[in-house]
Amino acid sequence: MAFEEDEEEEEQEHLVMTWSGELIEHVPNGTGVANYTNGDSYEGFYDKGIKQGHGVYKFSNGAVYDGEYIDNLRSGRGTMTYPDQSSYNGSWKDGKKDGSGTYIYPNGDIYKGEWLDDKRHGKGTYYFKASMAQFCGDWENGDFRKGEWIHRDGNTYEGSFMLNKPDGPGTFKFFRLNNLLNGEYKNQQWTSGQLVSLP
């Protein structure tokens, strides 16, 4: 499973090298373009030196954020494109992914769902491009904890997970054989339970 990028850190206003826009008391105010000493740039709105509203921040490493700001931090709706061409489109709070959003990973995997403090957290679905399988259910601190693992061939596992593997009580349904494997799992291995044939 792919992991989301560590969030890019933006330069602070005292490191602005040039500013093309209005000034109030020698600080940027209104709409303009700021260029930073490290090669980053920001085009958008400032309120007395504080980024507010919509803006586009370009990092020297190629990352780009296009979205909303509140009090200098990415907050509201916005899209971040990372140097490896992965991207996140969704809600932000205090500079971190928070709320609903979609992350497309470099390998083509996709996560659509809820975020908290820059991690997959809450309800969400993770699509694996290579295997065409998906995790659909509850996430906690970036890990899949409870829900369905749906395979390309129609087989499904529903139950508990640990470190993104079946762990704890669960049921594996074999689509073609039309039976269930109920019981306990440990590190993706069935340890106890029973095989049930469906009518």
Q: What's the token pair of residue 123? A: 């309800």
What confidence score (pLDDT) does residue 37 get? 86
The pLDDT tens digits for 110-140 are 999 999 999 999 999 999 999 999 999 999 9
41-50 contacts, C-beta under 8 A, 24 or more apart: 42/10, 44/69, 46/21, 48/24, 49/13, 50/13
What is the domain class of 8-99 according to CATH? mainly beta
Return the bridge partners of 122, or none.
139
Below-70 pLDDT ranges, the chain: 1-7, 10-16, 199
What is the domain class of 107-199 according to CATH? mainly beta
Q: DSSP string covering the chain, please? A: ---PPPPPPPPPGGGEEEEES-EETTEE-EEEEEEETTS-EEEEEEETTEEEEEEEEE-TTS-EEEEEEETTEEEEEEEEE-TTS-EEEEEEETTEEEEEEEEE-TTS-EEEEEEETTEEEEEEEEE-TTT--EEEEEEETTEEEEEEEE-TTS-EEEEEEETTEEEEEEEEEETTTTEEEEEEEETTEEEEEEEEE--
CATH 2.20.110.10 in the chain: give the residue spans. 8-99, 107-199
Q: Which candidate, 76, 78, 44, places its Cα nearest to that of 63?
A: 78
Q: Specify the pTM.
A: 0.87
Q: Which candidate, 97, 102, 94, places its Cα nearest to that of 124?
A: 102
